[in-house]
């Protein structure tokens, strides 16, 4: 892809005194793409994200983001972690949490600037949080908190958004709301999302990267039960999902 914004070439990674977690990963993500990453627990999904973010260094291979080394290219990336990095009972408002996305983007000697607050407001508006801006995060539902974390990532003005299982532990109705939001954001952002639910995300993403130490990319139309069984190394059970009309239902892995 000549317009790739993320490139991994022959990337391998292992933690000290451990067998490789990732082996010979080759991946190119085009500007404006919506890519899903799926695979079993321990298959290397979160590790791959940390390598793209420049938080981990592979022992082999090259990683670039916008043509820069990952540690520099991550300035273009908004990241939504799998777990919030703060206690839910910490006394902080939605707006102050979203403003945290400006840390490292603005000089903090005299506090947040007017521009920082304007960007936070724009992020809250885009994620439909303005009415909740003064609420304490401990009072939010799981879906509302996930929107706050997405707004925090948007406040750093990224053109790439990376999310690690953004809908874990929330119900399907809220999951649909979150992915509908991501679909809208994909009009202006490249999106990379890790998910446990192959069948659900197939209605939104354009390609699926199947990761279990090694990686293979498929269009959603090419996914089959046999391919998914090989990926998870377990039989799969078909689960019915309500998809948008353009989506094809796919099996979901249940162990």
Do the domain assignments include residue 248? no
Do the domain assignments include residue 199? yes
pLDDT top residue among 163 and 110: 163
Residue 251 has a pLDDT of 35
pLDDT, tens digit (0-9, with 9 covering 90-100), for 171-198: 888 889 999 999 999 999 999 999 877 7
| Rounded Cα distance, 134 and 131, in Å | 8
Q: What is the mean predicted confidence (pLDDT) over 139-150?
A: 93
- Cα–Cα distances (Å) from 150 to 14, 24, 33, in that order, read 30, 31, 18
Q: What is the mean predicted confidence (pLDDT) over 33-55?
A: 93
| Rounded Cα distance, 25 and 146, in Å | 29
CATH of the domain at 68: 3.40.50.300
Do the domain assignments include residue 55? yes
Q: What is the mean predicted confidence (pLDDT) over 90-106?
A: 90
Q: What is the mean predicted confidence (pLDDT) over 58-85?
A: 92
What are the residues whose beta carbons fall under 8 Å from the beta carbon of 162, sequence distance 6 or more?
49, 52, 53, 77, 78, 79, 80, 191, 192, 193
The rounded mean pLDDT for the chain is 84
pLDDT band at 69; cut points 50, 70, 90: very high
Q: Containing domain of residue 179, as a range?
A: 4-86+160-232
pLDDT, tens digit (0-9, with 9 covering 90-100), for 219-255: 765 455 555 555 555 544 433 334 343 343 333 333 2
Do the domain assignments include residue 79? yes
- Cα–Cα distances (Å) from 72 to 65, 143, 147, 155, 177, in that order, read 8, 31, 26, 18, 32
Q: What is the mean predicted confidence (pLDDT) over 147-174?
A: 92
| Rounded Cα distance, 57 and 62, in Å | 9
Do the domain assignments include residue 34? yes
pLDDT, tens digit (0-9, with 9 covering 90-100), for 9-42: 999 999 998 899 999 999 999 999 999 999 888 8
For 222, counting Cβ atoms within 10 Å of its Cβ (0-12 exposed, 13-18 middle, 19+ buried), the class is: exposed
Residue 233 has a pLDDT of 55
> Which residues on adjacent β-strands are paired with residue 71?
none
Residue 107 has a pLDDT of 78
Residue 155 has pLDDT above 80, yes or no: yes
pLDDT, tens digit (0-9, with 9 covering 90-100), for 101-118: 998 887 777 788 999 999
What angle, 0 to 180 degrees and rounded to 10, lies between the N-to-C axes of helices 142-154 and 114-126? 140
Number of domains in the chain: 1
Q: Please, where are the H alpha helices in 77-131?
A: 94-99, 114-126
Quickly count: other Cβ atoms within 10 Å of residue 50's Cβ: 15
Do the domain assignments include residue 175? yes
Do the domain assignments include residue 91? no
Do the domain assignments include residue 132? no
Residue 219 has a pLDDT of 73
pLDDT, tens digit (0-9, with 9 covering 90-100), for 121-143: 999 999 999 999 999 998 999 89
Residue 85 has pLDDT above 70, yes or no: no
Buried b (16+ CB within 10 A) or exposed e, 55-92: ebebeebebbbbeeebeebbebbbbbeeebeeeeeeee
- pTM higher than 0.75, yes or no? yes
Q: Evaluate whether 37 touches 192 at the Cβ level (below 8 Å).
A: yes
Residue 152 has pLDDT above 90, yes or no: yes
């Amino acid at each position: 892809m000549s317009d790739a914004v993320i490139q991994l070439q022959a990337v391998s990674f292992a933690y000290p005194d451990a067998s490789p977690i990732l082996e010979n990963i080759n991946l190119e993500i085009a500007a404006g793409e919506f890519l899903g990453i799926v695979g079993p627990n321990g298959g290397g999904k979160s590790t791959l994200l940390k390598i793209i973010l420049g938080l981990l260094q592979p022992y082999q291979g090259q990683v670039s983001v916008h043509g820069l080394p990952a540690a520099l290219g991550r300035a273009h990336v908004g990241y939504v972690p799998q777990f919030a990095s703060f206690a839910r009972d910490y006394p902080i408002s939605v707006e102050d949490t979203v403003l945290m996305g400006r840390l490292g983007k603005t000089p903090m000697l005299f506090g947040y600037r007017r521009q920082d607050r304007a960007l936070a407001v724009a992020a809250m508006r885009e994620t439909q949080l303005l009415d909740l801006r003064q609420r304490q995060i401990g009072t939010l539902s799981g879906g509302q908190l996930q929107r706050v974390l997405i707004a925090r990532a948007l406040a750093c003005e990224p053109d790439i958004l990376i999310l690690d299982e953004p809908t874990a532990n929330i119900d399907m109705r809220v999951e649909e709301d979150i992915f509908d939001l991501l679909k809208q954001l994909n009009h202006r952002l490249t999106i990379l999302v890790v998910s446990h639910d192959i069948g659900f995300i197939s209605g939104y993403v354009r390609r699926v990267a199947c990761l279990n130490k090694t990686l293979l990319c498929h269009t959603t139309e090419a996914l089959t039960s046999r391919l998914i069984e090989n990926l998870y190394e377990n039989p799969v059970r078909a689960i019915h999902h309500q998809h948008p009309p353009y989506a094809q239902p796919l099996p979901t892995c249940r162990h």
